[in-house]
Structure 1
Amino acid sequence: MSAAEILSQTTDSGPRIVEIDIEGMTCASCVSRVERKLGKLAGVSASVNLPLESALVTAPAGISDQQILDTVKATGYAATLKHDAETRSSPASHPDAAKESPNDADDADTEQNHMAHGGTAATLLPRLLAAAILTIPVFLFSMFPVLQFPQWGWVVGVLTLPVVTWCAWPFHRAAAINARHFASTMDTLVSIGVSAAFLFSTVTLVLDPTLTAHGSAMEGHAPLYFEVSSVVVTFLLLGRYLEAKAKSKAGDALKALLNLGAKEATVLRNGDEVKIPAAELAVDEIFVVRPGEKVATDGVVVDGTSAVDTSLITGESVPVDVTVDSTVTGATINTSGRLLVRATRVGSETTLAQMGRLVSSAQAGKAPIARLADRISAVFVPIVLVIAVLTFGLWLLFSLPVIGSADLQSAFTAAVAVLIIACPCALGLATPVGLLTGTGRAAQLGILIKGPQVLEDTRTVDTILLDKTGTVTEGRLSVVDVVPLAQVPAEDILRLAGAVESHSEHPIAHAITAHAREAGTLPEVSEFTSAPGGGVRATVDGRTVLAGRAGWLEENHVPLTPEAMAALAEQEQRGTTAIWVAVDGEAAGLIALKDTIKEGSKAAIAKLKELGLRPILLTGDNAAVASQVAAAVGIAAEDVQSEVLPQGKVDAVVALQAGGATVAMAGDGVNDAAALAQADLGIAMGSGTDVAIQAADLTVMGNDLAQVATAIALSRKTLGTIKVNLFWAFFYNAIGIPVAALGLLNPMIAGAAMAASSVLVVANSLRLRRFGR
């Protein structure tokens, strides 16, 4: 079963995965509440992602989509099924999903709810601008006595009113919705803190309209906190606006990936070219790809030759030559010749769709390290509310020598500062934004991380097993020797063979022709014939030339002497593939071909060693070939295992694991799938088979071993970034709350610091976008 099928599977009896969009979440506490509520449904588990505002819900057949949506709505948030081609759920539940829930009044307010929670930068910007414009005079009049005038307090109060109502509405609405469900989030802290400061100031102003009966520790400043309310709201809106912008950038990589596909396709119908939307392509339809156009979907070339730019999918800049029977991937770009392609995968089954699903799934999941933040956030807000109340009470009851005598104003200031500084925004963003950015950057580099747990796995890996063919080597043959057997010189053998093979489409023929062309111009060919699986025959310069296997020569009555057969055996012992060349009825020589080492393999092995990994080469080839390859790329002789069968690869992984090693395995073939699954970290080369890719934890879409090193390095970098984010989020709250409780933190500064902490966490994560540049 493919990765796409696993992600979108739906059966009558087994569990299925439902992806939903959730509006209104603002912090880690929101995430924790939704997950807990969904977890109370029998057999249901959920992974909620704050930056993506979505959830992946695993549910049994007995739980309908509507039950899942109603549960989320009952928790206080708007929820809808994600509308994409890849998300499937039980057919019976689809009609219900479109119905309005009679038990939840929020259904009709989806757009208003989205606006209220300020889910996008565009909806937050007007509130932020209004708050900033009104806050500037409020701050100046309040903080600088020289600007004050009779009745200035009333003017400041009037200017503050729209800031703490309309501008701060996203916080108040979220707090009210959660209070209705007897819950609290960071918005609860903000709403209470801002409202308390405004109401305290309003009552003070009503009781003393001229502000003559109150003194203050700050000369010329009455005990009014209108500026606290307005400045805190402005800072928090600024922080949330920057978060929204940054989170949008963090998801740009996935959005760009999903938008790569061609929008239209030109299909051949009854001999005519017809343009249709690419989404309407059907399997086995023939479509045309002209130079400069995108390939509409995955398929096989049935006519034409060209070079295809696959950089959008694999991250590799060198175009790939394609001809008849070559596979092409949707969203890649045809650079030269006109191609006719038969569609083999469409819609949700295409490589691009599967990539998008895998990236989205990884981003929506949770790394084990994120569970710590979830557990803390579940009880964080109630504890902070208790601390704020205790702070207020203790300031009134006791005298604190370090600060001075406690009074109502000091008690109020300290309690509000505790509420403001404690908002766990940074804590909720620390892991998901790092994961979102890291996996998005990985997708741009042609690396698919299947799940967040893979990040944890890369940290401990110390050994990597490398399959030889297709991983360390090219996986395609090139000429390494020409062996004359008669009176024909080696250069003539190569020239004649290259000419006759130039008309063949076989990969071996391509290798011989390419090598021959490097030596000079090839002569003209006539009377060309070929036999599938046998060889080719043609007339070149008036001479009859045959090239192929021994059976092809025997079929054409060309005798093979014992000396010639001995030469063949010698080449086979060297691990080469030998092709016979006969000229005018006589075996003239052998052309030996061999798999070549990839250009970047040696540097990639060195990089893996730098990352602390011990590379071990596994191959089914003989010891001589394996040793030559290992020596060329820098793998120690003792770390080479040759003539290994597929089960032997699994045994090798098990043996290393039994010895205490944490093993990664990189491979690309069906024979690697079992070992990839057995390894602690399976890495599939994207040029390989679907079976290998499905069995792996991490996939590099190209065929360059350097991408394996890059994948491990990026995974470790992403995990490191998440750890730094969590450390500073925890450290910030651990230090900030006691400082605020002691009265050493002005609420305005607390608001700025809280907003800054969230922005810094996001900014730190966005540094991953520059990885590898």
Structure 2
Amino acid sequence: MCDAIGGGSSNKARCSDPLQNDDCCGNLTISPRPVKDVEKGYTLFEHVKLSVSGLTCVGCENKLFRSLDVIPSVRNLKTSLVLAQAEFDLDLTAGPVSDVVRSIERTTGFSCEIVKSRGQELEVIVTGDVLDFLKQTPPEGVQDMTLVNKQTVRIAYDAKKIGARDLLENCFNIAVCLAAPQPHPALAVGSRHVRSSGYVTLVSAALTIPVLVLAWAPLPSHPIVYGSTSLALATAVQFGVAGPFYPSAIKSLLFTRVIEMDLLIVLSTTAAYVFSIISFAYQVRGQPLSTEGFFQTSTLLVTLIMVGRFVSALARQKAVESISIRSLQGTKAILTGLDCGSQKEIDARLLQYGDAFLVAPESRVVTDGIVVSGTSEVDESMVTGEFQLLKKVPGSSVIAGSLNSSGPLTVQLTRLPGNNTISDIAVMVDEAKFSKPKVQDLADRVAGYFVPVVIVFAIVTFAAWIAVGKAVRHQTTTTSVVQAITYSISVLIVSCPCAIGLAVPMVIVIAGGVAAKHGVIFKSAGTIETARNAVHVVFDKTGTLTQGRLKVLTAEYPLGSQDSISSAVLGLTSNIKHPVSIAISKYLKSCGTSPADVSGVKTVSGKGVEGTWHGASIRAGNSGWVHVEHSPHVESILSQALTAFCVTKDDELVAVFGLEDSLRPDASVVVSELIRRGIEVSIVSGDDHGPVRSFAAKLGIPSSHFKSRCSPEDKQHYIKDLVGSGGKTILFCGDGTNDAVALAEASIGVHMNGGTDVAQSAADVVLVRPSLTGILTLMDLSRASYRRIVFNFIWAFAYNIVAILLAAGAFVHARIPPQYAGLGEIVSVVPVILIALQLKWAKFD
């Protein structure tokens, strides 16, 4: 139903491509690569994301990867089995994206859909002629209109040029209504796969049950009639249900040289089906084989394979959905005027810039905004992991997905749904899911050799049982061959490389979602793999160990002229966003100072700021940089363990400010816990020696483990020396631009929330909430994830070894009959998924 609206959305990767924008370094948004002029020697790249239907096992992912990897125009390729997606950069000078999609669909048999991420998107149902609707001139701000199905059109638009409601109400001459909301492509593809697998499994079961009844029920003896009926049903199962496995297996062999799980299914089910026909033929001739009817084996085998795939797909999908951060996005909004007048509930997708919405008690904030009226307490734990109610008053910011407590709030929208905090976090989490830790390489290699080894083992089993039947049991050749076939079929089908292939990615996917809900976002799977090995944690001071909210306690002007110097200092610092400059500006403004005109203002990272005032050079920063550390005025301030902000005019000290900062509430607890765990802790800071030494003493950090007056290069060298030739795992935590090189140099760079975009792009981990406990969470989650990966590997290998031996008849009194071997995928894969899912309930802080 719809309402008419109108009528009439580890090792760090280094950027080797100079044409790539900052998004390749891990910023929150993903956008196409910039368009360049080919005639001037540039290559035209576009960032492409494909949603792929048909990925069921690690062999399928390998086939997809190889099919894309051989295309010369594809660069920076990443695939994800769990997300059912591929992501890459495409050289458009070699051909459009549509050519790549057609090539992949032809060589793999998968169906692909391009996932677009530009601007906002709406899906609408056209009540009239959809072709006429698509032919009309699109309104200003509309970027693209794409036909989704017979009556549904996806509209991409620039929300800064036109709002969603304005677009639908006034811009089209054919009536449209908003289509039902669709899940994110990563979830939608999985849902479609689960549904299709369920339908096919039901059909297979419906065809198999009569065969089982005819074979096992105590019915009157009519073997030929029953056999003919069973042959017809088994044929329908073999070609209607198992039929799609044939082209998939053949295409893998022909186009990508991959021997995958589908080939095992084809070999085993075909052997069972063909042997059923042979057995029935002998029965028609009046010479039944010792196995008698065999159609129940082939049909039950296919059905149980489908049941296994359905249960595995369902478990995998539910696991991904359960940790999806996008589930926090509200679907309805109560639109209201800023004067809290009329109210109207609308679909959240119809919000547009300039709107204000009401957040009722016990309801979620639909998107990011600023409170304009009302007072309440809000629980942001589902997004930030901060398990406490935060007071919100007019002027406070609220984030999407947070839960309002007692009082109604009127919120001025600042970001639209689909482009808010939830989507930012979700994009970063999804990026991590595309990455693979080193241990995944081992799993992929093992899985790659697994199927050929199983085929060889099945052949050996076949030969061995013929020999046993003839030489030991003295059976006829026919009986020996029949027995050998049943054992070989069991070996082929009971083996399952899927458990090996999923052992790592399932844990990484769950870990990413769990970390996000604890306020920790990691950008690569390698981070989760290595964080447990951290032996040394290095902290920046200001804004990391401290709250970064400095206040001026004292100010001295050695040469007098306080008014003119303070005006110059305000002019120098008023537009600088460093915490010290912010504190100085705030202090001077509170004293009634007006800024002087200072020209050529520029910051010197990690040192200070400089400019020109009345023809003189004016510099402000730490005492070492401006060379006044031995001034009595400076020494007096430093002796009080205050941060000294020194100002010189033509290299002469004209002002010095003493600033005080305070430790974060959790800094002592986190540092103490790190030391208790045997992890060394250091501080590197651009601040003077006195305050750095004071904070180190409060935290119990020895004098050998802190450095003051550090430039960005000093911090980088300090980290580099710690890493050393042995490749120790060093974690650095910072928040500012001057920390970017240290963040990049460290084994794991952790960025504190509230820092700059430069620092975020260099970091491996972003702490969404300003709390150092995220470092402990990261390490604990890494340790818990590693244990589960190890368990999954042990289980996958143990299952396959035992199951194959049972299927091959290695144990005298126990074996797995071929008709039940199809349950192997459930037995092997589901425990892997459940063990990974246990991370949801683990305690990390």
**Structure 2 length normalisation: TM-score?**
0.67
1:476-515 deviation per Cα after TM superposition (whole angstroms, max 9, x unaligned): 469999xxxxxxxxxxxxxxxxxxxxxxxxx99xx9xxxx
How far apart, CA to CA, are the structure 2 residues paired with 1:300 and 1:150?
79
Match of 2:157 in 1: none
Q: 642, 666, 684: which one pairs with 2:733?
A: 666
The correspondence for 1:454, drawn from 508, 527, 536, is 527
1:388-444 CA-to-partner distances (Å, cap 9, x unmatched) read: 345435644676867876711122112211211234222332232222212122222
Alpha-carbon distance between aligned partners in 2 of 1:99 and 1:257, rounded to the nearest angstrom:
25
Alpha carbons 1:266, 1:288 under 8 Å: kept: yes
Residues in 2 aligned to 1:322 and 1:641: alpha-carbon distance in whole angstroms: 39
Q: Which amino acid aligns with 2:115?
A: K
Instruction: Report matched runs for 1:471-490 at 5 Å.
Output: 471-476=544-549
Q: CA deviation at 1:757?
A: 0.7
In structure 2, the partner of 1:432 is 505
Asked if 1 retains the 8 angstrom alpha-carbon contact of 2:683 and 2:696, the reply is yes
Q: Is the 8 A contact 2:32 2:48 kept in 1?
A: no
| 1:758 maps to 2:829 | yes
2-side partners of 1:445 and 1:291: how far apart?
25
**Higher mean displacement: 693-702 or 751-760:** 751-760
Contact 1:32 1:377 in 2 (8 A): no
CA contact (8 A) 2:27 2:760 kept: no
CA RMSD of aligned residues (A): 4.6
Match of 1:11 among 19, 30, 34: 34
- Give the total of aligned pairs: 662
2:243 aligns to what SS in structure 1?
helix
SS for the counterpart of 1:615 is strand
2:111 alignment counterpart: 78
Offset at 1:80? 0.8
1:506-561 per-position Cα deviation (integer Å, ceiling 9, x unaligned):
x99xx9xxxxxxxxxxxxxxxxxx9972159xxxxxxxxxxxxxxxxxxxxxxxxx
Q: Does the aligned pair in 2 maintain the 1:303–1:323 contact within 8 Å? A: yes
Q: Distance in 2 between matches of 1:610 and 1:233?
A: 56
Q: Distance in 2 between matches of 1:612 and 1:223?
A: 68
**2-side partners of 1:153 and 1:726: how far apart?**
48
- Structure 2 counterparts to residues 328-347 of structure 1, below 5 A: 328-335=398-405, 344-346=414-416
1:691 corresponds to: 758
Shift of 1:316: 0.7
- Report the TM-score when normalising by structure 1: 0.73
1:696-723 deviation per Cα after TM superposition (whole angstroms, max 9, x unaligned)? 1111211121121111221332244234
Q: Does 1:204 align with 2:270?
A: no
Distance in 1 separating the partners of 2:70 and 2:451: 22
Give the equivalent residue in structure 2 for 1:464: 537
Range moving further from structure 2, 745-754 or 29-38: 745-754
In the TM superposition, 1:327-726 aligns within 5 A as 327-335=397-405, 344-346=414-416, 349-378=419-448, 380-389=450-459, 391-393=461-463, 395-396=465-466, 407-476=480-549, 533-535=589-591, 573-575=639-641, 594-609=660-675, 613-658=679-724, 660=726, 661-726=728-793
1:187 is paired with a residue whose SS is helix
2 CA distance for matches of 1:676 and 1:86? Answer: 31
d(CA) in 2 for partners of 1:646 and 1:67?
47
Deviation at 1:36, TM superposition (A): 0.8
1:38 Cα deviation after fit: 0.7
Q: Describe the SS at the equivalent of 1:208.
A: helix
Aligned equivalents of 1:116, 1:674: Cα separation in 2: 39
In the TM superposition, residue 79 of structure 1 has moved relative to its aligned partner by 0.8
Q: What amino acid is the match of 1:179? A: I
Q: Which amino acid aligns with 1:201?
A: S
In 2, Cα distance between equivalents of 1:288 and 1:305: 15
1:84-129 deviation digits (Å, cap 9, x = unpaired) = 55799xxxx98999899xxxxxxxxxxxxx9999964444445545
The corresponding residue for 1:190 is 265
Instruction: Provide the C-alpha distance between the structure 2 equivalents of 1:241 and 1:697, rounded to a whole number of angstroms.
Output: 36
1:232 is aligned to 2:301: yes
Instruction: Indicate which of 250, 257, 267 corresponds to 2:319.
Output: 250
Aligned 8 A contact 1:160 1:227 in 2: no
How many Å separate the matches in 1 of 2:833 and 2:473?
Answer: 35
What amino acid is aligned across from residue 546 of structure 2 in structure 1? T
1:659–1:191 Cα change, 3 Å: closer
User: AA paired with 2:315?
Assistant: A
CA distance in 1, matches of 2:712, 2:407: 40
Give 3-state SS (helix, strand or coil) of 2:589's partner: coil
**Alpha-carbon contact 2:312-2:826 (below 8 Å) kept:** no
Kindly state the Cα deviation for residue 133 of structure 1 after the two structures are TM-superposed: 7.5
Amino acid at match of 2:101: L
Note if 1:67 corresponds to 2:99. yes
Secondary structure at 2:437 match in 1: coil
Matches within 5 A, 1:19-418: 19-45=49-75, 46-62=77-93, 63-75=95-107, 76-83=109-116, 120-125=193-198, 128=201, 150-151=221-222, 155=226, 158=229, 162=233, 165-166=236-237, 169-179=240-250, 182=253, 185-209=260-284, 213-215=288-290, 222-257=291-326, 259-261=328-330, 263-264=332-333, 266=335, 278-279=348-349, 285=354, 287-290=356-359, 292=361, 294-299=364-369, 307-321=377-391, 326-335=396-405, 344-346=414-416, 349-378=419-448, 380-389=450-459, 391-393=461-463, 395-396=465-466, 407-418=480-491
Once the two structures are aligned, what percentage of the paired residues are identical?
27
Whole-angstrom distance in 2 between the partners of 1:768 and 1:49: 20
Q: Secondary structure of the residue that 1:596 maps to in structure 2?
A: coil
1:189–1:420 contact (8 Å) kept in structure 2: yes
- Which amino acid is the alignment partner of residue 229 of structure 1? S
Partner-residue secondary structure (3-state), 2:310: helix
2:50–2:86: 8 Å Cα contact kept in structure 1?
Answer: yes
Indicate if the aligned counterparts of 1:117 and 1:174 stay in contact, CA closer than 8 A. Answer: no
CA deviation digits over 1:214-260, x for unaligned, max 9?
44xxxxxx443334334433433332232122112221245343542
The amino acid of 2:828's aligned partner reads S
Taking a change above 3 Å as real, the CA distance of residues 535 and 11 of structure 1, as seen in their structure-2 partners, is same
Q: How far is 1:4 from its partner?
A: 4.5
